[in-house]
Homo-oligomer: A and B are copies of this chain.
Amino acid sequence: MVDLTIWTTWNSMIPMLSFISPPLLLAETAEAELGPMVLAGVLVSLIVIYLSSKLIGELCARINLPPVLGELLAGVLIGVSVLNLLIFPGEGEESTSILLTFLQATDGLTPELTAQVAESIGEVITVLSEVGVIILLFEIGLESDLKELIRVGPQAAVVAVIGVVVPFTLGTAGLIALFGVPAVPAIFAGAALTATSIGITAKVLAEIQRLTSREGQIIIGAAVLDDVLGIIVLAVVASLAKTGEIQISNIIYLIVSATIFLIGAILLGRLFNPYFVALVDRLKTRGQIILPALIFAFVLAYIGAAIQLEAILGAFAAGLVLAETEKRTEIEEQVIPIADMLVPIFFVVVGAKTDISVLNPFNPANREGLIIATFLVVIAILGKVVTGLGVFGQPGINRLAIGVGMVPRGEVGLVFAGVGSATGVLSESLDAAIIVMVIVTTFIAPPLLRLVFREESEDVETVESLPKTE
């Protein structure tokens, strides 16, 4: 029905268009006309992405929620769930995005070119979001401090491992046993429960001035290790999802290859670092730091993808390696604007691709999806809160605070959802359930963290209680 309306509208528009531009030229210039149309569509998509993510990100920052959550919610708002302003590959002719209507009205996009232009815009935005997550992981790697990680050592390692194993096992087993989810998506969803978002926790700890407390140090150390473990888990799980097979030998091969890749990259990187610095010092033309760094990140990302792991694992390894050079600060400074430009595209696209309406509680058909989402949220919280129990030899330490500090999933959880939806292994409702899990854990962690630390400072350490900032 809709198709017919559009069809007749298009047909009636053609004579008008041919009046403006000679009909003879239409066929000849079709290829040449596509380019500017695609560019215009990409520009409008980027404007919509940046405007919405900045707007909702700033709102989130004002009510003490992490801005990344704002970017995700902006994606949900402008995506398939609500406003449908973006286009994704595979939609092609079926796309009913308002963006296309807008381009037809303002930029002279002709109906016969619409499907092809829509497909190209979708491709470009998707690749930009993927380059965005590569840059994000490169930056996370750059900001991770290997030496610091080794120093915090065993305490953080125990907390991190518990925080990966417990939610992963409970989540996967629960999804298979209670909800009959097939093994591969269940493993994927279980894996999405593992990674802690260091950014959100670190920010809240800094705000309540607990970043350098014993608890804070263990949380941060464990969260960084969680990132590493989570990315290895993701690489393994995504690879399983690609082949669709689960064989113990395959899993062992993947875990070993991911670990070898990461450790190998770091060890080789240490040999290579002095040459990198010497090379960069000799370059005279613009981009003398950022381009060699990007080349390195993209090469490792490509290798990561080519050996059946993930591109982001390579980018993360590249970041870890370059973090050990004396150029670290300079690289970070220059990566930040690039990340500011590309990373929001990733978060917005993850939100935009998620059809949140499959969890609409007013539709009875969604009940199972909602129950699964609730289950994931409960496991996500419990599985991390118990990690505090793993701390040993630290009398009087606030175990609850450590556990709560590990709860937020944030960006890394979203990376799982994004990769999962790209591999096509997650059902719509499971995909949406993971997004909801990330949103809820990220929403509740900051107030919970303030609560458990406030109780402590009121009850136990009233003497050194600190003024509550912000």
Contacts and interface: CB of A to CB of B under 8 A. Distances in A.
A90 B35 CA distance: 11
A284 interface: yes
A47 B302 CA distance: 10
A144 interface: no
A50 B295 contact: yes
Interface stretch (A53-61, A354-362, A445-453): A53-61
A47 to B, nearest CB: 5
27 contacts: A3-B180, A10-B180, A10-B181, A17-B182, A17-B246, A18-B246, A18-B247, A21-B245, A29-B244, A31-B89, A35-B130, A39-B305, A40-B306, A43-B301, A50-B291, A50-B298, A54-B283, A54-B285, A58-B284, A58-B285, A62-B284, A67-B286, A89-B120, A120-B123, A286-B340, A291-B344, A338-B341
A271 interface: no
A1 interface: yes
Number of copies: 2
A34 interface: yes
A275 to B, nearest CB: 15
A128 to B, nearest CB: 8
Contacts of A284: 58, 61-62
Contacts of A51: 295
A177 B4 CA distance: 10
Contacts of A422: 32, 35-36
A421 to B, nearest CB: 9
A209 interface: no
A306 B106 contact: yes
A368 B3 contact: yes
A105 to B, nearest CB: 10
Nearest to A106: B306
A44 B38 CA distance: 22
A1 B338 contact: no
Contacts of A44: 302
Contact of A46 (B3, B9, B31, B298): B298
A459 B131 CA distance: 57
Contacts of A14: 182-183
A101 interface: no
A61 B285 contact: yes
B306 A244 contact: no
A243 B9 CA distance: 21
Interface in A237-267: 242-247
Nearest to A183: B14
A371 interface: yes
Nearest to A285: B67
A187 to B, nearest CB: 11
B344 A32 contact: no
Contact of A291 (B54, B183, B242, B424): B54
A334 B338 CA distance: 8
Contacts of A182: 10, 13-14, 17
Nearest to A24: B244
Contacts of A34: 89
B424 A29 contact: yes
A396 to B, nearest CB: 36
A465 interface: no
A40, A178, A285, most chain B CB atoms within 10 A: A285
Contacts of A54: 283, 285, 287, 291-292, 295
Given A180-B7, A295-B51, A334-B337, A285 B38 contact: no
B127 A39 contact: yes
Which 8 interchain pairs have the tightest Cβ spacing?
Answer: A287-B340, A21-B244, A7-B180, A32-B424, A334-B337, A67-B285, A10-B180, A6-B180
A301 to B, nearest CB: 6
Interface in A80-129: 89-90, 106-107, 120, 123-124, 126-127
Contacts of A11: 176, 180
Contact of A371 (B1, B283, B311): B1
A90 B116 CA distance: 12
B424 A341 contact: no
A1 to B, nearest CB: 7
